[in-house]
Amino acid sequence: MSDDQLKKAVLDAVDALTPRLVQSVSDAVRIPSVNPKYPGQDYDRLVGAESDVSALVADLYREAGAETEMVTAERRRDNACGRIRGTGGGRTLVLNGHVDVVPALQPDLWTGPTFSGQITDDAVLGRGATDMKGGTVAAAYAALALAKADVRLRGDLILQAVVGEEVGDHEAGTSAVLDAGYGGDAVLVCEPTNATDGPPHLSTSAPGLLWFSLTLKGRTAHVGWRGRTIHPTLDGAALGVNTIDKYWVIYQALRDLENMWAERDRHPLFAPGHFCIMPGVLNANPKGIDVPFFLADTLTVDYCVLHHPDRSNGEVRAEIEETVRQACRRDVWLRENEPEFDWKLDWPAYTTPSGHGLEASVSSAHAEILGGVEVGAGPTKSGMFGVCDITWTAAQGIDGVIYGPGVGKTAHAEDEYVPIHQLVTAVKTYALTALDYCGVAESAESADAPQ
């Protein structure tokens, strides 16, 4: 069978499987697999749903001919793993996706049930459709299409559907399955890569992420004495200090640093201003009571930081701490009462090594599906808008790229959905990528050759 015939057989198989693909994505979305360790959630109520999605995906792995195993590092949180063994002499490709999702907050703002899995003429709706059950299921269907087309690869194809990604819990998810032997020469992480509903982008870079909190202390007093605490000729801090006022000193310093990043930390794959220092949670009050009749003497603010991929987390952390220290030196109270830092999450950035073979394979496959290589229809390259598990595969020496279906602007937002055309494009791209990267066994290549 010629290369063109082989590819046509695979693509025809994807087309034939498309109704099932859409239904499988819907079935997966309907399982409310909220990460049980997500802050503010009830672990005991939620644990186990991730395993239900993994079981669904594992059935697809088996149908595709994979040796399938549940790898469980934490009870009732199963990772589905599959290995389709090659005939030998080829490279091993890992397709990685996660089964956990973030909570569906404020359901009254959704136009339908949050985990509906509703299928429309052009999309599947519900929490997790984009982030990232669409990509996880698409990877399984790529393997199934290869099986339906009777393709034997030279290298192994490894399939991973893991838990824990949404909170960086890679020890229970991606790192656990790698430790169990489900690694390879390269990884294709199937996260959503386009902010809109156009074809998937190719991402070769992801920002670093830090989560930290700052805690400030003040001195409470009756609201009637506020004027005497803030007027420069009166009592000042000896009478009272409102932590909310003092926070704005620090807020503005970090906001100025964020603005400087937008000018200084440019990257060709990210829009100016993408790298950010975002205050996301703010709690301030008079200690032990939530009324505005006292000066607030406690304040805690949580920040999420996304930074330039070429910078280390340690470098960025030091810059943020020094920025806060400098701001405090300019304030009489804060100079003697610096806020306390609590660094909660450290997620390093990632960049695909230059010239990595998987990048070329994905680009060629995408181009062939959407117009042909000769017209230059390769995927748009952009930076990953958030972080993903490619950080943890790289930590174990497995580099790769990020490419997957989904509308990034709906991730973690209301009315999340995944377009069906993106699902189909992703499945076809994954399948043709495997042909190119892993290589095709001689029996498949020569089955129709003249005798």
Q: What secondary structure letter does DSSP report for 111?
A: S
Average pLDDT, the chain: 95
Q: Given this model, what pLDDT does residue 446 score?
A: 46
Q: Which pLDDT score, from 0 to 100, does residue 376 have?
A: 55
User: What does the block give as tokens for 69?
Assistant: 């195993």
Encode pLDDT of 346-405 as tens digits.
999 999 999 999 999 999 999 999 976 544 568 999 999 999 999 999 999 999 999 999
DSSP letters of 220-252?
Answer: --BGGGHHHHHSTTS-GGGT-B-HHHHHHHHHH
Domains of the chain by residue range: 3-206+349-446, 209-347
Report the distance separating Cα 9 and Cα 13, nearest Å. Answer: 6
- Res 443: pLDDT: 65
Q: What is the DSSP letter of 383?
A: -
Is the pLDDT score of 448 beyond 90? no
Mean pLDDT (whole number) for 77-92: 98
Q: Supply the pLDDT for residue 181.
A: 98
C-alpha pair distances (Å), 254 with each of 92, 208, 303, 321? 44, 17, 10, 10
Strands 417-419 and 123-125: antiparallel
Are the beta carbons of 267 and 382 closer than 8 angstroms? no
DSSP state of 339: P
- Phi, psi torsion values for 270, nearest 5 degrees: -125, 145
Please report, for residues 39, 45, 103, 283, 333, the alpha-carbon distance to residue 42 in angstroms, rounded to integers and kept in the order given: 9, 5, 11, 21, 39
SS3 for 175?
A: helix
- Residues 84 and 62: their CA atoms lie apart, in Å, by 9
**Could you tell me the pLDDT band of residue 451, with boundaries at 50, 70 and 90?**
very low
Mean pLDDT of 268-281: 97
- Calpha distance 151→441 (Å, rounded): 8
* The one-letter amino acid at 312: S
**CATH class of the 209-347 domain in this structure:** alpha beta
Instruction: Please answer whether residues 417 and 125 qualify as being in contact, where contact means their C-beta atoms are separated by less than 8 angstroms.
Output: yes
What integer is the mean pLDDT of 151-159? Answer: 98
Report phi then psi at 328, rounded to 5. -65, -35
Predicted pLDDT of residue 372: 60
**Ramachandran angles phi, psi of 350, nearest 5°:** -145, 140
pLDDT band at 105 (very low <50, low <70, confident <90, very high): confident
Examine the pLDDT at 50 and tell me if it is beyond 80: yes
More confident residue, 232 or 75: 75
User: What is the pLDDT confidence band of residue 292, given thresholds at 50, 70 and 90?
Assistant: very high
Residue 66 near residue 141, CB atoms below 8 Å: no
Chain segment 12-41, per-residue pLDDT in tens? 999 999 999 999 999 999 999 999 999 999
Q: Is the pLDDT of residue 237 over 80?
A: yes
CATH class of 3-206+349-446: alpha beta
Percentage of the residues of the chain whose pLDDT score is greater than 70: 97
Instruction: Give the global pTM.
Output: 0.94
Burial class for 268, CB neighbours closer than 10 Å (0-12, 13-18, 19+):
exposed
- In angstroms, the CA 167 to CA 40 distance is 12
Res 37: pLDDT: 97
- Which of 51, 39, 388 has its CA nearest to residue 188? 388
Query: At 258, which amino acid appears?
Result: E
Going by pLDDT thresholds of 50, 70 and 90, the confidence category of residue 444 is low
Which entry of 69, 74, 78, 100 is annotated as an active-site residue? 100
Give pLDDT tens digits for 111-151: 999 999 999 999 999 999 999 999 999 999 999 999 999 99
Q: Please tell me the number of Cα atoms within 13 Å of 274 on its side-chain side.
A: 23
Q: Answer yes or no: 100 catalytic.
A: yes
Q: Which of 166, 197, 416, 445 is catalytic?
A: 166
Give residue 45's Cα distance to chain centre: 24
Single-letter amino acid code for the residue at 380: T
42 included as an active-site residue: no
